[in-house]
Amino acid sequence: MAGRRRAGDAWRVRGVALWLVLGSLVALVACGGGSSGTDTASADVRRLLDRRAAAVLDGDAPAYARTGAPGELTRLGALPLAAWSYRLTALHRTGGEATADVELSYRVEGIDKAPVRVGRTLTLTERDGGQWYVDADKPARKTGQQLWDQGTVRAVHGTHSLVLGVGQSAESLRRYADLADRAVPAVTEAWGRAWTRRVVVLVPKSLEGMAGLLGSPASSYRGIAAVTTGEVGGSGTAPADRVIVNPEAYGVLGDFGKQVVLTHETTHVATRAATTAATPLWLSEGYADWVGYRSTGRTAVQAAPELARAVASGEVPDALPGDADFGFGGDAGELAQAYEGGWLACRLIADRWGEVRLGEFYRAVGVHGVRAGAVEGALEGVLGITSGEFTGLWRDYLRAQLV
């Protein structure tokens, strides 16, 4: 995942890998020690949730309104759904009021191979002779929002993309779809066809909306144009990745920068199955940048201005950037140099050993499974070179390219 900010006439990638981690939910409990009244309430709430889910899938507004909080169905807007269901995991009742802990499971039609599962907290009231109604449906504590929590969802379908937005015009979302539709073939040309070759882009209204979807403070993503969420290692039992855009940072980019951002993020989607705990950030982010810049004609100096300035002043890095160098909280120039260094390492491999061998190297690192020895083994097994030799070649490459 990555974000971008303008630096002179060049664009540089900034970001860290973020992966959607779904925590396990507690077993069903009920206040009141399992009394028959509470048991009856749990059964009644389950039936209520089943009716509510059926109304969502049917688009049946009257039926949905009969379960309470009718406006929430409208916010789902044009979201194309293949599945939608609730699982009650806990019910906390006090008289005629209750709070329900619920696991929402849903699939986007034509996109998700497996359901997205998220925690929700519902507030309920009992009225009309013992009937339960939903008063509010919110993200569970420490859980990110869903797009419809922020407003009515608008959908635009591209040839290779689905763009979902809140507070965005159809024309704006169409522009995102056009960029994504160009990104997918570019990534496939570089990486190969062994991925879904579709991308889902979420466009909230603001930076705060982006942060809400990620369940993090807005300050963590200020100046970051986009990030990608997904399951590391690509088990095949996870929902599709989502590219989440910060419309404020993305909006200040020119056409070139916008395309590089979406191609970079789409590369993360394509490489997800081959990206594991063994993959260092210099490789995952550097490879995504390599694909993003691959057909742009940008020189090393244009695309790596911070590192070029350092090399020009005689400050050639001693080693490839470590994962800690990609943190957002540090110096912006050093962060840019980390991304640029990773990109140039991948560019070196493509130039010296060929683009196919670069892809083989990426996959070989990920297959190792654990970090220790992964890069070293892939360097020797795929490229026939030691880690020390590669670092020396990389430093020489920086001196040769960044002049």
For residue 14, what pLDDT is reported? 35
For residue 223, what pLDDT is reported? 86
Residues 374 and 327 placed together within one structural domain of the fold: yes
Establish if 92 belongs to a structural domain: yes
Contact assessment for residue 369 and residue 278, using Cβ atoms and an 8 Å cutoff: yes
The CATH number of whichever domain residue 108 belongs to comes to 3.10.450.50
Of the listed ranges 87-96, 197-206, 234-243, the one predicted with least confidence: 234-243
Over 80: is that where the pLDDT of 30 sits? no
For residue 18, what pLDDT is reported? 31
Establish if 109 belongs to a structural domain: yes
Which phi and psi angles does 165 have, rounded to 5°?
A: -140, 160
Contact assessment for residue 210 and residue 221, using Cβ atoms and an 8 Å cutoff: yes
Establish if 69 belongs to a structural domain: yes
- Three-state DSSP class for residue 141: coil
Provide mean pLDDT across the span 300-311: 97
For residue 145, what pLDDT is reported? 97
Q: Final residue of a domain: which of 227, 247, 271?
A: 271
DSSP 140: P
37 — pLDDT class (breaks 50, 70, 90): low
How many domains does the chain fold into? Answer: 3
Establish if 2 belongs to a structural domain: no
Q: What is the per-residue pLDDT across 66-77, written as a single tens digit (0 to 9) for each?
A: 999 988 899 998
Residues 282 and 401 placed together within one structural domain of the fold: yes
For residue 222, what pLDDT is reported? 87
**Extended strands (E) in 185-326:** 199-203, 226-229, 242-245
Over 50: is that where the pLDDT of 12 sits? no
Phi-psi sector, 376: left (phi>0), alpha (psi -120 to 50), beta: alpha
Residues 304 and 321 placed together within one structural domain of the fold: yes
Q: What is the per-residue pLDDT across 179-227, written as a single tens digit (0 to 9) for each?
A: 999 999 999 999 999 999 999 999 999 999 999 999 999 988 888 999 9
Cα separation, 371 vs 152, whole angstroms: 43
Establish if 24 belongs to a structural domain: no
For residue 77, what pLDDT is reported? 81
Over 90: is that where the pLDDT of 351 sits? yes
For residue 236, what pLDDT is reported? 64
**Most confident by average pLDDT, 11-25, 66-80, 324-338:** 66-80
Q: What is the per-residue pLDDT across 356-402, written as a single tens digit (0 to 9) for each?
A: 999 999 999 999 999 999 999 999 999 999 999 999 999 999 999 99
For residue 327, what pLDDT is reported? 82
Residues 235 and 258 placed together within one structural domain of the fold: yes
For residue 28, what pLDDT is reported? 32
Closest CA to 261 of 283, 228, 236: 228
Provide mean pLDDT across the span 283-311: 97
Q: Final residue of a domain: which of 118, 138, 158?
A: 138
Over 70: is that where the pLDDT of 26 sits? no
User: What is the bridge-based pairing of β-strands 116-127 and 131-139?
Assistant: antiparallel
Residues 287 and 399 placed together within one structural domain of the fold: yes
What is the residue-wise DSSP string for 388-402? HHHHHHHHHHHHHH-
25 — pLDDT class (breaks 50, 70, 90): very low
Closest CA to 322 of 310, 309, 312, 334: 334
Residues 332 and 362 placed together within one structural domain of the fold: yes
Cα separation, 361 vs 388, whole angstroms: 16
Establish if 239 belongs to a structural domain: yes
Note if the pTM is more than 0.85. Answer: yes
Q: Count CA within 13 A, CB hemisphere, residue 243.
A: 31
Residues 124 and 153 placed together within one structural domain of the fold: no
Over 90: is that where the pLDDT of 231 sits? no
Which tokens sit at 282? 């210099």
Residues 284 and 397 placed together within one structural domain of the fold: yes
The CATH number of whichever domain residue 261 belongs to comes to 3.30.2010.30
For residue 70, what pLDDT is reported? 87
The CA-to-CA distance between both ends of the chain, in Å, stands at: 29
Identify the H or E element spanning 312: helix 305-312
234 — pLDDT class (breaks 50, 70, 90): low
Over 50: is that where the pLDDT of 23 sits? no
For residue 38, what pLDDT is reported? 56
Residues 118 and 153 placed together within one structural domain of the fold: no
One-letter identity of residue 109: E
Residues 125 and 153 placed together within one structural domain of the fold: no
Q: Final residue of a domain: which of 111, 138, 165?
A: 138
Q: What is the per-residue pLDDT across 113-143, written as a single tens digit (0 to 9) for each?
A: 999 999 999 999 999 888 999 999 999 999 9
Q: Residues near 129 by Cβ (< 8 Å), separated by ≥ 6?
A: none
For residue 220, what pLDDT is reported? 85
- Three-state DSSP class for residue 3: strand
Residues 264 and 284 placed together within one structural domain of the fold: no
Mean pLDDT of the chain: 89
Q: Residues near 171 by Cβ (< 8 Å), separated by ≥ 6?
A: none
Establish if 22 belongs to a structural domain: no
- Edge-first strand order for the sheet with 29-30 is 29-30, 81-94, 97-108, 116-127, 131-139
Residues 44 and 91 placed together within one structural domain of the fold: yes
Over 60: is that where the pLDDT of 9 sits? no
Establish if 9 belongs to a structural domain: no
Over 90: is that where the pLDDT of 2 sits? no
Over 50: is that where the pLDDT of 8 sits? no
The number of beta carbons lying within 10 Å of the beta carbon of residue 33 is: 6
- The range of the structural domain enclosing residue 293 comes to 275-403
